[in-house]
Amino acid sequence: MLSRVADSLYWMSRYIERAENNARIADVNLQMLLDLTNQKESDPQQQWDPIISSLEENEVFASLYDKPDGRAVIDFVSLQKKNPNSIYSCLTNARENARTTSEQISSEMWEQVNRLYLFVKGDTAKKLVRNSPYEFFKRIILGSHLFQGITDATMTHGEGWDFIRIGKLLERADCTSRILDVKYHILLPSGEKVGGNVDTIQWMSVLKSCSALEAYRKIYVGQVAPWRVAEFLITHAAFPRSIRFSVDCFDAALHHISGSSETRYANEAERLSGRLRSDLDYITIGDIFKFGLHEYLESIQERLVEVSNAMQASYCGESAIENLPRD
């Protein structure tokens, strides 16, 4: 496969996953806000700040809006062209990448990416964002799921598919760590105590962002407790949005591409991802809290970037090019 194409497939997939995750975060926060306003007075501004922080676009946001109220944040996250990580920007980038690889992906995949792009570009999306953001976010999430289903059902499970998987899972691991980190930024309203009502609602919303509340309930009985939520989202071996599960899967995909055994490594990307993987296999939630949850999540994000860079250097960059073929 062409190096450029591998790179584009990887990014196409990352952008679609990113659009989905942004929709999840915004949607859940929207709902949480409703829950909280029914409680007692809480400052809505406080509620939206962490979202903007988690998107790492504080400055762009500040340049566009006066204050972070719900309407501004929803606009910023959904259709704002000036936000490089808005759902609109993500899907535009995904579609551009798909367009340069449209002979590699199946036509059904291309049509789905294109349909999503046309949707966020069109008037229906504008109306939905204004009148029923919940519905808008729902359609983005469903659209992304549909894309993943189409991908698995119509594309040969070869190299290109592996690059798509790696893009999706790296992005997902990164997003789950950010969603979890959002809670770190959320301050409890004054007078509220840890483990209290508001705190529980906030932790539940973290789980909901990852479609994880029901899965969590099946494992842990009783109160939603912070360390359990973190344990579940970081180290669960089989939940498809946990960090560990995502890392396991992209590590497998990396080995699938190179053909090397999963107990060894054939390049720097595999070495880094293998290390991250074994770390997640053996770490306990106690270790994580001792280290500091926020610090640990940040280190995960940095290590994901390292894997991504190494993967691109091995397959998509200049160093891949100098290897002359043996023929």
Binding site for other proteins (CB under 8 A): 1-6, 96, 99-100, 102-103, 107, 110-111, 114-115, 118, 159, 257, 315-316, 320-321, 323-325, 327
Distance in Å, CB of 327 to other proteins, minimum: 7
* Coil, helix or strand at residue 251: helix
**Smallest distance from the beta carbon of 183 to other proteins, in angstroms?**
39
How far is 230 from 207, CA to CA, in rounded Å?
9
- Closer residue to other proteins (CB): 82 or 290: 82
The two structure tokens encoding residue 134: 């919940």
CB of 24 to other proteins, least distance (A): 25
Choice between 201 and 320, CB closer to other proteins: 320
- Cα separation, 89 vs 8, in Å, equals 16
Q: How far is the CB of 313 from other proteins (least distance, A)?
A: 12
Q: 7 or 251, CB closer to other proteins?
A: 7
Least separation in angstroms between CB 99 and other proteins = 5
Residue where the block lists tokens 């990396």:
254
Residue whose CB is less far from other proteins, 119 or 220 = 119
Distance CA 234, CA 173 (A): 9
Sign of the alpha-carbon dihedral angle for 17, 21, 27, 28 = positive
- The CA-CA-CA angle for residues 208, 212, 217, to 5°, reads 105
Distances (CA, A) of 315 to 103, 157, 162, 257, 276: 19, 18, 12, 10, 20
Closer Cβ to other proteins, 75 or 159, answer by number: 159
What letter would DSSP give residue 85? T
Nearest-approach distance from CB 266 to other proteins, in angstroms:
12
DSSP 136: H
Q: Is residue 125 within 8 Å of 4, Cβ to Cβ?
A: no
User: Considering beta carbons, is residue 48 or 315 the nearer one to other proteins?
Assistant: 315
Contacting residues for 185 by C-beta, under 8 A, at least 6 apart: 49, 50, 53, 54
Rank residues 300 and 310 by Cβ distance to other proteins and give the closer one.
310
Query: Least distance (Å) from other proteins to the CB of residue 14?
Result: 17
Dist. CA 218–CA 168, nearest whole Å: 26
* Residue whose CB is less far from other proteins, 10 or 137: 10
Cβ atoms within 10 Å, residue 45: 11
CB of 314 to other proteins, least distance (A): 8
The overall longest dimension of the chain from CA atoms, in Å, is 73
